[in-house]
Amino acid sequence: MPSAIVLVQNASPSTITGFHDQLSNELPKILNSNWQFEFKIFKNNPFSRVDPSVPTPTTFLYTLYLSYFPQKIISITNNSTSSIITSVAVSSSNDIKTEYDSDGDDDEVRKPDFDVPASHIMSNASTGLSNPWDSVLTSKLQSLWTLRQVIKGDNGNVYKLHVNQLALTIPDAVSGEPTTVTLSGALIIKTANCFLHGSFKGFLIEVEFTPSDGQIVESVMRKVVLRGLMEHYKFPLGKLCLERLNEYENVEDKYGDLCHQYAQALQF
């Protein structure tokens, strides 16, 4: 399930409405009209090191909350090769709400139980409160990490396009020569307006393609196909981020890759 992020900085209203009109012409399935995200950037405190004489490299910690990935926070650092996903506290484990999963279909998602083990409390490894991870960073670990930016995405829309035997002419991943590939699968496109301190910073497009036959395995091929799909559906020009969190491991880390792409795109 390759993904990518496109950020159109300071996009005009005509650019945004034009892209929505373009997608509407493809007769998509409208999945959601109010998804949100919150992306936080933390920087390590260089003065928190044990030995002041030893230089400390600058490290950034990124946390990402996605409303379509309920009760979860994704975290990586700028030198991570994998992500950490933590649960967000919920009021009741019996609450059920309708969300849509990664393939875009409506599903009932049960909010997870979030109980702190008694052994953690007895060992002073917990306050006994189910605080979200980013809340712990800003309250309990503020001497180690400083919150630098909070970027929010609002007014989100989600479209699902069924790609059926779409022929794309793309450069070969090895030779670079033009070659034709035929694609079938589900293309999920999410859009949102990005704000920093209340100021509009850009129009974000999150794209994910799930092939119907399990094709597109190699990382290079994923990038080429995603670029071809964006060109076919006339995505607006912007900052394109489609690198994986770990390009050298053939291990699926969908949300780690996505958080890494957000970190690349949302650098203001």
What pLDDT, on a 0 to 100 scale, did the predictor assign at position 130? 61
Domain boundaries of the chain, sorted by first residue: 3-265
Q: How do strand 72-77 and strand 37-44 relate by DSSP bridges? A: unpaired
The dihedral of CA 215, 218, 221, 227: what is its sign?
positive
Instruction: Answer whether 138's CB lies under 8 Å from 150's CB.
Output: no
What pLDDT, on a 0 to 100 scale, did the predictor assign at position 91? 40
Cα–Cα nearest to 206, from 169, 246, 156, 139: 156
Per-residue pLDDT of the chain (268 residues; tens, 9 = 90+): 679 999 999 899 999 999 999 999 988 888 877 899 999 999 988 777 666 677 778 899 999 999 998 888 899 998 888 888 887 654 433 333 444 454 555 444 444 444 566 666 666 656 555 666 767 777 767 778 888 999 999 889 999 999 998 888 877 767 778 888 888 899 999 999 999 999 999 999 999 998 887 665 555 678 888 998 999 999 999 999 999 888 776 677 889 999 999 999 998 8
**What φ, ψ does residue 260 adopt, rounded to 5°?**
-60, -40
In angstroms, rounded to a whole number, what is the distance separating the alpha carbons of residues 227 and 97? 35
What pLDDT, on a 0 to 100 scale, did the predictor assign at position 111? 45
Instruction: Answer whether 10's CB lies under 8 Å from 201's CB.
Output: yes
What pLDDT, on a 0 to 100 scale, did the predictor assign at position 152? 96
pTM: 0.80
- CA geometry: angle at 44 spanning 249 and 116, to 5°? 75
What pLDDT, on a 0 to 100 scale, did the predictor assign at position 93? 35
